[in-house]
């Protein structure tokens, strides 16, 4: 956005806000304090920016991240100094690990007080250094326009990530005539990459001659807006596609070439397809431990081609045969162009295209589907997600989650057709992400249904954002899979510690709680009461017959709505590959915790191999 440089004086805070306007910022999630008052005064006079007051800085940070994750644009959050800034550290780290474009503007004590242990002084620059793409401490008010311009450019280009700008209070108050036309000064930073045509040409014969090829696609495909190109390549060569959790939606999960997502709680057929392929094309992914398990055994017989924008990710976690640094969209576009020249058009899926390979994969799909057992008088969590998907199927909706079992159930039983429709914390695994992320998602797409599927433990971590949702009139829907426990930790207690409960029960430990009857007076906390205090409608659901009508009422509401769905705590997320083990060691049945359950190694041997 180009505007004529004003000739009048402006305060540093006004300059900062006008710099945001010039970057096209539409919304800022901002919590005020003593050191940031000048900035908030300036924001209050700028009608083109919507300033949303979260009820906690972490909520504001996750909301900005949710906005950036759904749109690909830079999410913006601000805080005051000291504890305000430290409350942003978790969202900043979350954005860093998941490569989300975000600019976090923290206010600092006056520059003459820095280093004196002044009231609410913290070294934000130092504390966030390992978890940002870049950071700034403003030392001259004249530099603010350039710094803002650079920060947004860095955050959104190359491999996206968070940028921190720490602004001393006195620089927000001093007045100067600003220069908004200052050039950026970023020596050594060049995110634009040439297409490595020779390297890509070398791997085309491998893809063409593969007997059991597989594509392993990560969040980098989503970030690069390369989903169309990925699908085209898969259809040209008739290659099955597995995604990571961050890559969910980059290949429609109802497409016959999709094998859904792989990893610790991924589908058996996804893990088998990638691990038993002879050629694996990994695009925009980093071989995370939650995907690979025992990294030495991951794709140990395959020729691996790894395409990634970040040179630091190539041969970092897994040594590969062909490491190609390239933008995912540019690389896939080039491959498609070359394959078209070689006479490989886009084709519809048919098992006849690769009868042996697709025959094996389809056998895995039939024998090891993502499934669960229903109960007569209890609602199991998978049932909730499945019913939500049924009622939203065919509609363009955004699904957010917190972190825990509910997150995995959502990934397993909701089939995503598009990228940027699943907002969840991947790399950092931050509980409390779902509710504020839903705020950011709604602001990004107010025309779409936004549903946060959460756990009772995760929901509580940022429950205060119900206040923001109510005041801002956000019609966000929330489903709490309420099992009165920290479900994922309980599952690990069953697996490793003979079901000994060590601080994983969230209700009153002195009450005689009966999980099969959900005695109302013993359910803790009382979410309907809490929600009522925020002015948000909440309904509790206990019996299976109540579920579908309740979800229908929730989705039909024009206002925010919370469903507190009581579910049993003894349901495990399956399949499950225990940490550090291979896809052959997958657990398919619930571990009883008494030493009598069949363990991973026993169950793993039952899975037939294509090798």
- HSE-CB of 67 using CA atoms within 13 angstroms: 25
- Whole-angstrom distance, CA of residue 133 vs CA of residue 110: 25
> Element (H or E) spanning 398, and its range?
strand 398-401
Contact 500, 403 (CB under 8 A): no
Q: Which of 431, 488, 554, 566 is catalytic?
A: 488
Active site annotation includes 120: yes
Q: Which of 57, 65, 232, 253 is catalytic?
A: 57
What is the token pair recorded at 7?
Answer: 């000739």
- Whole-angstrom distance, CA of residue 280 vs CA of residue 258: 15
What is the token pair recorded at 13?
Answer: 């805070």
- Whole-angstrom distance, CA of residue 385 vs CA of residue 128: 36
Q: Which of 169, 318, 329, 477 is catalytic?
A: 169
SS (H, E, C) 480-517: EEECCECHHHHHHHHHHCCCCCCCCECCCCCCCCCCCC
Active site annotation includes 169: yes
Contact 493, 486 (CB under 8 A): no
- Whole-angstrom distance, CA of residue 367 vs CA of residue 382: 19
Closest CA to 158 of 281, 311, 23: 311
Closest CA to 543 of 523, 524, 565: 565
What is the token pair recorded at 568?
Answer: 């049993």
The order of strands in the sheet holding 258-261 is 258-261, 241-243, 213-217, 279-283, 303-308, 322-325
What is the token pair recorded at 321?
Answer: 């045969």
Q: Which of 3, 119, 374, 606 is catalytic?
A: 119
Q: Which of 120, 182, 338, 391 is catalytic?
A: 120
Rounded to 5 degrees, what are φ and ψ at 169?
-60, -40
| Residue 312 φ/ψ region, left for φ over 0, alpha for ψ in the -120 to 50 degree band, beta for the rest | alpha
Active site annotation includes 57: yes
Contact 169, 109 (CB under 8 A): yes
Catalytic residues: 57, 119-120, 169, 488
């Amino acid at each position: 956005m180009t505007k004529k440089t004003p000739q009048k004086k402006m305060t540093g805070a006004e300059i900062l806000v006008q710099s945001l306007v010039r970057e096209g910022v539409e919304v800022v999630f901002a919590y005020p304090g003593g050191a940031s008052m000048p900035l908030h005064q300036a924001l209050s006079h700028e009608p083109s920016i919507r300033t949303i007051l979260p009820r906690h800085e972490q909520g504001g940070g996750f909301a900005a991240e949710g906005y950036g994750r759904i749109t690909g644009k830079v999410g913006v959050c601000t805080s005051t100094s000291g504890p305000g800034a430290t409350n942003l550290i978790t969202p900043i780290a979350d954005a860093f690990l998941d490569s989300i474009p975000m600019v976090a503007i923290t206010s600092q004590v006056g520059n003459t007080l820095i280093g004196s242990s002044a009231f609410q002084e913290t070294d934000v620059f130092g504390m966030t250094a390992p978890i940002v793409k870049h950071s700034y401490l403003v030392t001259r008010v004249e530099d603010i326009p350039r710094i803002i311009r650079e920060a947004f450019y860095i955050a959104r280009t190359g491999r996206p990530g968070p940028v921190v700008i720490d602004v001393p209070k006195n620089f927000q108050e001093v007045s100067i005539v600003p220069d908004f036309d200052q050039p950026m000064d970023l020596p050594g930073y060049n995110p634009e990459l040439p297409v490595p045509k020779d390297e890509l040409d070398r791997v085309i014969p491998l893809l063409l001659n593969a007997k059991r090829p597989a594509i392993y696609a990560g969040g980098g495909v989503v970030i690069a807006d390369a989903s169309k190109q990925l699908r085209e390549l898969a259809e040209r060569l008739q290659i099955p596609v597995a995604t990571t959790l961050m890559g969910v939606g980059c290949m429609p999960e109802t497409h016959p070439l999709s094998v859904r997502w792989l990893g610790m709680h991924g589908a058996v057929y996804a893990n088998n397809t990638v691990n038993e392929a002879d050629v694996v094309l990994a695009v925009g992914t980093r071989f995370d431990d939650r995907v690979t398990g025992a990294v030495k055994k991951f794709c140990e017989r395959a020729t691996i081609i790894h395409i990634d924008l970040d040179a630091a990710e190539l041969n970092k976690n897994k040594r590969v045969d062909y490491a190609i640094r390239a933008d995912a969209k540019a690389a896939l576009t080039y491959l498609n162009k070359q394959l078209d020249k070689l006479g490989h058009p886009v084709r519809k899926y048919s098992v006849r295209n690769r009868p042996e390979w697709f025959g094996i994969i389809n056998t895995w799909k039939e024998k090891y589907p993502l499934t669960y057992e229903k109960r007569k008088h209890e609602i199991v969590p998978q049932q909730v997600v499945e019913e939500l998907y049924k009622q939203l199927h065919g509609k363009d909706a955004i699904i957010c989650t917190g972190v825990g079992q509910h997150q995995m159930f959502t990934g397993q039983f909701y089939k995503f057709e598009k990228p940027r429709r699943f907002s969840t914390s991947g790399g950092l695994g931050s509980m409390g992400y779902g509710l504020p992320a839903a705020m950011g998602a709604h602001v990004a797409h107010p025309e779409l249904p936004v549903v946060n599927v959460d756990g009772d433990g995760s929901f509580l971590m940022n429950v205060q954002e119900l206040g923001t949702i109510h005041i801002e009139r956000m019609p966000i829907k929330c489903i709490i899979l309420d099992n009165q426990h920290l479900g994922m930790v309980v599952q690990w207690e069953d697996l490793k510690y003979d079901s000994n409960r060590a601080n994983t029960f969230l209700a009153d430990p002195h009450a005689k709680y009966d999980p099969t009857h959900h005695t109302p007076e013993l359910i803790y906390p009382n979410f309907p009461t809490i929600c009522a205090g925020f002015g948000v409608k909440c309904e509790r659901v206990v019996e299976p017959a109540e579920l579908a009508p309740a979800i229908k009422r929730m989705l039909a509401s024009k206002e925010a709505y919370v469903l507190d769905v009581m579910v049993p705590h003894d349901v495990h997320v399956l399949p499950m590959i225990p940490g550090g083990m291979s896809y052959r060691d997958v657990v398919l049945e619930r571990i009883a915790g008494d030493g009598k359950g069949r363990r991973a190694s026993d169950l793993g041997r039952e899975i037939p191999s294509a090798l």
